[in-house]
Structure 1
Amino acid sequence: MKIKTEAGERHVLAITVDNEAGVLAKITGLFTARGYNIESLTVADISSDHALSRITIVTSGSPAIIDQIIAQLDRLVPVHKVIDLADGGAHVEREIALVKVAGSGEKRIEALRMADVFRAKVVDTTLTSFIFEITGTSDKVDRFVALMRECGLVEVGRTGVVAIARGAEAV
């Protein structure tokens, strides 16, 4: 699924790297040095022996820019594999957000109603606030946050995009 943005097409890069100090700095340094924007970044250990990590980066650019980014990432020593999930066919993306909303009366009732519509869970509550957990596409999270602004949005924490290719094989 390719989405056009002002900066070009949106791409989700899955990068398998050595799980060691400084690797993330090398990857982000490559983006910074060349003026590429990182829209979302997540990192997690993916192997049982803790030797490998997976970095998921969402970025935008023309096909030539994305090809250049992938080629430059492939040349870095700690990088084992770079996959552009947007080019690799169908994939699943999700993001988690914690959304704190304060309010009373009708605002409180409206926040709960909207959370129900978006299938957000209440993970903490006080007499004056809620913290909701919402999982879904970035667009879904964006829409929920925008609606919560009307209900008394206080704070938002987001994980960033995690993504994986569909199908039985690993990419």
Structure 2
Amino acid sequence: MLYRTAHVRADQNGRTIFGLAVPYGVVSEVNDGYGPYREQFAPGAFTRSIRERGHKVKLFVQHATERLPIGRAVELDERADGLHAAFSVARTRDGDEALELVAAGVVDGFSVGFASLRDRKEADKTVTRVEASLREVSLVHSPAYPDALVGGVRSASTTPYLTVARARLELLEATLHTED
């Protein structure tokens, strides 16, 4: 299996939002203004885009690209399950607000702005995005792909972020209960 990664710059300030920006092989019904249709992304759909312009990918809120971005990509990593990303968030009013909304669990999704370069239409009429140019990623409250979720905020300290720690404890408890 081939993976493409763009590590732009490590963030040391505890203001990095990370998660799964685009799941691969997951079909979702989307509507981009031309009526609803089924869509999925193929593994490797962003390989060339990451290589050529990964350092230019910005983070917005709700695709409000007419406003200034709140952050930029510091990591874009294609894995078997999808495009994983991390974004350094600027110390601005909008950046602070976004971090607070993510920490509160109010905003927990990602959505991508992209230009399709190569598609394939499946027998069931699903459009498979084989190659796409990643233009931007946005924090959203209702992602088109339910699995396109913010994983958390990386902290500058070695102490796990509270929501990540809670999720790990819940998973551990669930595992212990299933073994009984």
Q: TM-score range by the shorter chain?
A: 0.3 to 0.5
Query: So what's the TM-score if we normalise by structure 1?
Result: 0.32
Normalising by structure 2, what TM-score?
A: 0.31
Considering fraction of residues, name the structure with more helix.
Answer: 1
Which entry has the higher C-alpha Rg, 1 or 2? 1
